[in-house]
Amino acid sequence: MVPLPLLLYRAGILAALPVAAPWLLLTARLRGKSRPSVASRLWWHPPPLPRQGVWIHAVSVGEVGVARPLLQELRQRFPHLPLVLSATTATGLATAAGAQLADAVVPLPLDLPGPVRRSLDAAQPRAVVLVETELWPELLHACGQRNLPVVLANARISDRSFAGYRRCRRLLAPLLRPLTLALAQSEEDARRLVAIGVSEEKVRVAGNIKFDATPPREHPAVAKAIREAALARPIVVAGSTMPGEEELVLSAVQQLPHTPPPFLLLAPRHPERAERVAELVAQRGLRCRLRSRLAPGEGEVDVVVGDTVGELAAL
């Protein structure tokens, strides 16, 4: 039987979709975000997937990084267990594919009955793992209907999310019943999970998986090219920047009382914004190169803008 809160959720989704879809596409474009195609997330034509494995969902680049040690541990302990890794953003999918830790990398289905059903039919997983706070009502319900264990790994509830979740606890609690286990980052996160409707006996404090991660593979050639471009100047790194933050970083660096001025490595959170950020840098009269176009031994550069994925943490 479909719970009333899920029926209300479905009605809200269907009512909002005609307005929300164009708005989300527009804001994603303005913010430089790249998302998988709607067709791929509808799962009309599911890709061939290994079955009877574990499906792990990590929304974007950061969460894929969190999932990395979990995937490595599963691979080491159960070498023959198929692993499917999904993400919501294009950069998350690119990072997931580049990690080469899963047998398949796919976009998360839209949280609608049809796409969710088709994706689970294609993978037929033994269990589903959701990284951090990926609480999708339709997906949770479908897993519950199939008696699939659902684990919320590295779970956290931010101040902002907690305020919203707590206001609709009566509606949210039935949607969270399919959760089998919630592994919270901290005691406070565990308390908040219980407060929004997760059964207390399902919540455990397991710490932050990020601290279990091994350092990423080094990129000595990239590091050498950046050091050579810096020409012994101090290097300032601004990573995962959002629109509006690059201007603040550039202003701050240009005001630093240091001669010569520091070299800046500027990495926007969404690499598809790199060209736009490079134009911003050039407008400041600074010499700029995109990371992918930085030649070894190249001098006469003030700022390098990152347009690649997965390199910054390895430098």
Tokens 């596409």 identify what position? 25
User: What pLDDT score does 199 carry?
Assistant: 95
Answer yes or no: do 207 and 62 share one domain. yes
Answer yes or no: do 166 and 92 share one domain. yes
Catalytic residues: 63
User: What pLDDT score does 193 carry?
Assistant: 97
Q: What is the CATH number of the domain that holds 232?
A: 3.40.50.2000
User: What pLDDT score does 188 carry?
Assistant: 97
187, part of any domain: yes
Q: What is the CATH number of the domain that holds 208?
A: 3.40.50.11720
Q: What does pTM read for this prediction?
A: 0.79
Answer yes or no: do 55 and 196 share one domain. yes
3, part of any domain: no
CB neighbour class for 1 (10 Å; exposed up to 12, middle 13-18, buried from 19):
exposed
Return per-residue pLDDT of the chain as tens, 315 residues: 788 999 999 998 888 777 766 766 665 565 555 667 778 899 999 999 999 999 999 988 888 888 999 999 999 999 999 999 999 888 888 888 887 889 999 999 999 999 999 999 999 999 999 999 889 999 999 999 999 999 999 999 999 999 999 999 999 999 999 999 999 999 999 999 999 999 999 999 999 998 877 766 777 888 888 888 888 899 999 998 999 999 999 999 999 888 888 999 999 988 888 999 999 999 999 999 999 888 776 668 999 999 887 777 767
Answer yes or no: do 84 and 112 share one domain. yes
Answer yes or no: do 226 and 205 share one domain. no
Return the DSSP state at 154: E
Last residue of a domain, one of 193, 212, 231: 212
Answer yes or no: do 60 and 186 share one domain. yes
Answer yes or no: do 87 and 150 share one domain. yes
19, part of any domain: no
Give CA–CA dist 56/153, Å, rounded.
Answer: 10
Give CA–CA dist 11/9, Å, rounded.
Answer: 5
31, part of any domain: no
User: What pLDDT score does 121 carry?
Assistant: 97
Owning domain of residue 94: 37-212
For the chain, what is the domain count? 2
